[in-house]
Structure 1
Amino acid sequence: MAKRTDLTTYEYRKARAAFLAASDVCHLCGHAGADVVDHAIPVARGANPCDTDNWRPAHGVHRCPTCGRNCNGEKGASSQVKGLKTSRDWYAGG
């Protein structure tokens, strides 16, 4: 089973870079420029940090250039962000 320390290995960092190069649209706000991998099921809750099926692009180190949010930071280890509008909310006028 993978451990949280696996998040710092060269293999993980290389896979993360390839993942973000393939898709940089934040799954939380829907804007481009995502710079971190968010784990849909948090590592703190036992998810394998290296399971790419559990990865989602998100804004974290740098705030979203469109809405200014630190999407992954606002989400934390919870499964949903309260009050964080998604791109669907913006288009629907929410």
Structure 2
Amino acid sequence: MAKRSDLTTYEYRKKRARFLAESDVCHLCGHAGADVVDHDRPVSRGADPRDMDNWRPAHGVRRCPTCGRNCNGEKGARTRAPGLKTSRDWYTDTGG
């Protein structure tokens, strides 16, 4: 089982950078400039941090340049942030 410390490995950071280079549109507010990987199923609740199927781009360290929110911080360790309006229903949208 993966540990929270797996979030700081060189391999993880390379994968995260590649992931964000491919899509920087925040899954929570829908604006470009996402700078962190949000885990749909929180790592604190046992999700494997290396599971890229569980990754979503989000604003975090640098706030959203459009709406000014720290989207990932507002969401926290919940699977959904109450009252946080998202760009689309990322939980049921298949992207097609």
What TM-score results when the alignment is normalised by the length of structure 1? Answer: 0.90
Separation in 1, partners of 2:84, 2:63: 14
Q: One-letter code of the match for 1:81?
A: A
Work out the number of aligned pairs and report it.
88
Whether 1:3 and 2:3 are equivalent positions in the alignment is yes
The equivalent residue for 2:70 is 70
Q: How does 1:51-62 map to 2 (within 5 A)?
A: 51-62=51-62
- Show structure 1 runs of 4+ deviating over 6 A: none
How many percent of aligned residue pairs carry the same amino acid? 82
Superposition RMSD on alpha carbons, in Å?
Answer: 0.9
Q: Compute the displacement of 1:87 (Å).
A: 2.8
Give structure 2 stretches of 5+ with no counterpart.
Answer: 89-96
Give structure 1 stretches of 5+ with no counterpart.
Answer: 89-94
What TM-score results when the alignment is normalised by the length of structure 2? Answer: 0.88
Greater helix share, structure number:
1
Q: Which has the larger radius of gyration?
A: 1
Q: How does 1:14-53 map to 2 (within 5 A)?
A: 14-53=14-53
State the secondary structure of the residue aligned to 1:56.
Answer: strand
